[in-house]
Amino acid sequence: MENASVNVTVVGLQWGDEGKGKVVDALSSGCQFVVRFCGGANAGHTVRVGEEKYALHLIPSGILRPGVVNVIANGVAFDPIVALEEIEGLAARGVAVGPENLRISAAAQVVMPWHGLEDRLSEQRLGKGKIGTTARGIGPCYADKARRTTAVRVGELLEADALAAKVHAIAEIKNCTFAALYGAEAMDAEAIIEEFTDIGRQIAPMVANTGAMLRRAVAERVPILFEGGQGSMLDIDHGTYPFVTSSPVAACGVPVGAGVPPSAVGRVVGLVKAYTSRVGAGPFPSEQDNQIGDRLRDRGNEYGTTTGRPRRCGWLDAFAVRYAADLSGAHEIALALLDVLSGFEELRVCTGYRLGGQAVADFDPSQMGDVECVYETLPGWAEDLTAARRFGDLPAEAQQYVAAVEDLLGRPVGFIGVGPDREALIAHHTVLRGVGK
Ligand code: IMP
């Protein structure tokens, strides 16, 4: 696949939690901008630097690299309360955050207090039929974005008088709706106005026309890294709808969510965990709701970064990942958490589906609840992989597993993650320079 751009896009090809923070951190060393273009504080990106572990939700993972400008672009559901907490937490650990290393799009949507409230009330009411959201208000915020008249954008937080009038008007609608639907108590509009006017003052120096900034960078061929949130199977259009998040999270979402031309997407690195996990409800054909799943959860520490919920675990579903890799046009794969598979006598990989006894030809996320997996079995290995730094350090069976993944996904494995540390990343068949070396 031809790739004339100097940019890199990193997207998850499963249901999120593929270890994007670590790969973005590694790849950001050669980039001037790191840009979040989708999702919001529902994401949880973990980066380890030495003994220090940083769990980031909204601030792009390039924040730990000096000289990188991090951008929260127009496509993000921006929760300023979470962002300011994160900024404070980073400052307390010696990472200064300000206009020189963080820019927030004036056109990004603001997650307002009524969004989190509606998310929780709606899920409670749905009971067993719930989506299993992160309760961060993401769905209601994007719903208001589409409705337009009840949305607040970041730029509006800077205009105190207009903001007060708008919050009054929206709070009235929300209070009536929530009282009627859920019997909820009214929110105090004055308190919200006070809080969000103050937030506006705090973030003002960082608010910018990030689209113009990024288009200029594209024209000048300044390297940009686009950091995906969640994973492709949670994409609003192409995932396992309705058990998805509310924004376009595949690489197709980059131009819309960042305000850049499609040609700026650049080299696409598809993040794939060596097995699969999912949080929340919805289909998961290769799920192992048994001792295998328990073992993957324990070894991989599969508990939500954002919610602490135990994640559902299962074998790698290469049929689903191939679909996601094709959708995003992934040029290469970063295979994460291979070390978690140590100690299994044999490993299984889902290579296709059967539906009503027939082999499924074209992957269709809407059929996922009804299919049966077809598995290939591969030999496991006993060795601990966390000290491996070159492909040759891996046991033969682990090398065979990586080769099988390349074969099934039809693209090279560029990187292999073998542990949480920054250094535990093997550069394999990547064309990207200076990373993991
Ligand atoms: P929401 O994005 O909070 O509305 O949640 C919708 C679905 O996406 C739920 O199943 C969540 O568990 C899932 N989800 C949202 N963000 C992430 C993430 O960053 N990692 C994994 N799952 C996520």
Contact call for residues 89 and 63 (beta carbons, < 8 A): no
| Ligand 1 geometric centre to CA of 190 (Å) | 31
What integer pLDDT is reported at residue 437 of this predicted model?
A: 36
| Ligand 1 geometric centre to CA of 74 (Å) | 19
Q: Are strands 224-227 and 267-273 parallel, antiparallel or unpaired?
A: unpaired
Residues 6+ apart with CB under 8 A from 268: 8, 9, 11, 251, 328, 329, 330, 331, 332
Judged by DSSP in three states, 23 sits in: helix
Mean pLDDT of the chain: 95
Give residue 320's identity as a one-letter amino acid code.
A
What integer pLDDT is reported at residue 163 of this predicted model?
A: 98
End-to-end CA distance of the chain: 25
Q: Which of 45, 115, 331, 428 is catalytic?
A: 45
Give residue 276's identity as a one-letter amino acid code.
T
Asked whether 20 lines ligand 1 (CB < 6 A), one says no
Contact call for residues 267 and 31 (beta carbons, < 8 A): no
Confidence of residue 4 (pLDDT cuts 50, 70, 90): low
What integer pLDDT is reported at residue 104 of this predicted model?
A: 98
User: What is the distance, to the nearest Å, from the Cα of residue 329 to the centroid of all Cα atoms in its chain?
Assistant: 17
| pLDDT one-digit tens code per residue, 218-235 | 999 999 999 999 999 999
| Ligand 1 geometric centre to CA of 38 (Å) | 12
In this predicted structure, the answer to whether residue 208 has a pLDDT above a threshold of 50 is yes
In this predicted structure, the answer to whether residue 1 has a pLDDT above a threshold of 80 is no
CA nearest neighbour of 233 among 9, 16, 10 = 16
Confidence of residue 5 (pLDDT cuts 50, 70, 90): confident
Long-range contacts of 391-398 (CB under 8 A, 24+ apart): 391/416, 391/426, 391/428, 393/426, 394/338, 394/418, 394/426, 398/338, 398/341
Which residue's CA is the nearest one to ligand 1's atom 20? 16
Contact call for residues 315 and 346 (beta carbons, < 8 A): no
**Burial status of residue 406 (CB atoms within 10 A of its CB: 0-12, 13-18, 19 or more):** middle
Asked whether 12 lines ligand 1 (CB < 6 A), one says no
Asked whether 277 lines ligand 1 (CB < 6 A), one says no
Q: Report the half-sphere exposure of 161 (CA within 13 A, side-chain side).
A: 0
CA nearest neighbour of 286 among 355, 378, 372, 346 = 372
Q: How far apart are CA 356 and CA 351, in angstroms?
A: 17
Nearest atom in ligand 1 to 42's CA: 16
| Ligand 1 geometric centre to CA of 325 (Å) | 20
Asked whether 166 lines ligand 1 (CB < 6 A), one says no
Confidence of residue 308 (pLDDT cuts 50, 70, 90): confident
What integer pLDDT is reported at residue 25 of this predicted model?
A: 87
| pLDDT one-digit tens code per residue, 323-352 | 999 999 999 999 999 999 999 999 999 999
Mutate to test the pocket of ligand 1, among 17, 42, 235 (most ligand atoms within 8 A of CB): 42
Q: How far apart are CA 180 and CA 152, in angstroms?
A: 23
Task: Average the pLDDT over 258-281 and give the result.
Answer: 96
Mutate to test the pocket of ligand 1, among 115, 123, 133 (most ligand atoms within 8 A of CB): 133
Q: Does the annotation mark 362 as catalytic?
A: no
| pLDDT one-digit tens code per residue, 148-193 | 999 999 999 999 999 999 999 999 999 999 999 999 999 999 999 9
Residue 370 is encoded by which pair of tokens? 């009804």
| Ligand 1 geometric centre to CA of 205 (Å) | 30
Q: Which of 17, 25, 119, 144 is catalytic?
A: 17
| pLDDT one-digit tens code per residue, 124-139 | 999 999 999 999 999 9
**Burial status of residue 124 (CB atoms within 10 A of its CB: 0-12, 13-18, 19 or more):** exposed
What integer pLDDT is reported at residue 414 of this predicted model?
A: 97
Asked whether 16 lines ligand 1 (CB < 6 A), one says yes
Task: Average the pLDDT over 393-407 and give the result.
Answer: 98
Asked whether 116 lines ligand 1 (CB < 6 A), one says no
Residue percentage of the chain with pLDDT more than 90 = 89
Judged by DSSP in three states, 375 sits in: strand
Asked whether 36 lines ligand 1 (CB < 6 A), one says no
Asked whether 279 lines ligand 1 (CB < 6 A), one says yes
In this predicted structure, the answer to whether residue 110 has a pLDDT above a threshold of 80 is yes
In this predicted structure, the answer to whether residue 435 has a pLDDT above a threshold of 70 is no
Q: What is the DSSP string of 88-143?
A: HHHHHTT---STTTEEEETTSEE--HHHHHHHHHHHHHHGGG-----SSSHHHHHH
pTM of the shown model: 0.95
| Ligand 1 geometric centre to CA of 131 (Å) | 9
| pLDDT one-digit tens code per residue, 23-66 | 988 898 889 999 999 999 998 888 888 888 888 999 999 999 99
What integer pLDDT is reported at residue 48 of this predicted model?
A: 82
Residue length, the chain?
437
Point out which residues pair with 45 in neighbouring strands: 56
Residues 6+ apart with CB under 8 A from 83: 41, 58, 59, 72, 104, 203
Residue 245 is encoded by which pair of tokens? 């998040």
